[in-house]
Amino acid sequence: MKKEAPRDKFFLRSLHQEIDFFDRKISYLENFTQFDTDAERDAARNKLITKRASLAETAKTLVADGVEFNHSDLPRSFQAAEAASQNHQSGKVPRRFLFSRPGSGNRDSLHTAAPAPELTVPLRSRCASLSSRR
């Protein structure tokens, strides 16, 4: 008879690592892998998403059953969803969505901050307004 794998905090941590790995695989597939048709891309993406969904369901079941875990072991996709729900409940705006000053040394907010309002004007209209000022 086959022995069932233990379902403890170490198993849950390995599940979280595997979910994070599938998140990275899906991201790589969407950004860098080339396919001949969109149907092939969708089929490959759906295959990975299905595998990830079954892992995520198992992990959520273990957490609901009371298996302890560290929040630092959560996959990045779970951390982002958890942070978004906490910020939504508290009414706070995540720090990475706030504007940052250039040269402030905060790389994360520089790369993920929304563009400044004056930079959202199309290039042609900016050039036209500059040439009309001369």
Tens-place pLDDT, residues 26-71: 999 999 999 999 999 999 999 999 999 999 999 999 999 999 999 8
Cα dihedral value 33, 97, 112, 122, nearest 10: 90
Helix intervals (H) in 32-122: 38-64, 76-90, 107-112
Mean pLDDT along residues 123-131:
51
Asked if residue 14 has pLDDT above 60, the reply is: yes
pLDDT of residue 93: 53
The structure's pTM equals: 0.60
pLDDT top residue among 126 and 13: 13
- Listed in sequence order, the residues at least 6 apart from 104 whose beta carbon sits closer than 8 Å to its beta carbon are 110
Query: What is the DSSP code (8-state) at residue 20?
Result: H
Dihedral (CA of 21, 78, 55, 7) sign: positive
The residues spanned by each domain of the chain are: 9-92
pLDDT of residue 115: 46
Q: Which of 95, 86, 80 is nearest to 20 (CA)?
A: 80
> How far out from the chain centre does Cα 109 lie?
15
pLDDT in tens, 63-116: 999 999 998 889 988 888 777 777 767 666 555 444 444 444 544 443 444 444
Read off the pLDDT band of 25 (50, 70, 90).
very high
Say how far apart CA 8 and CA 88 lie, in whole Å: 31
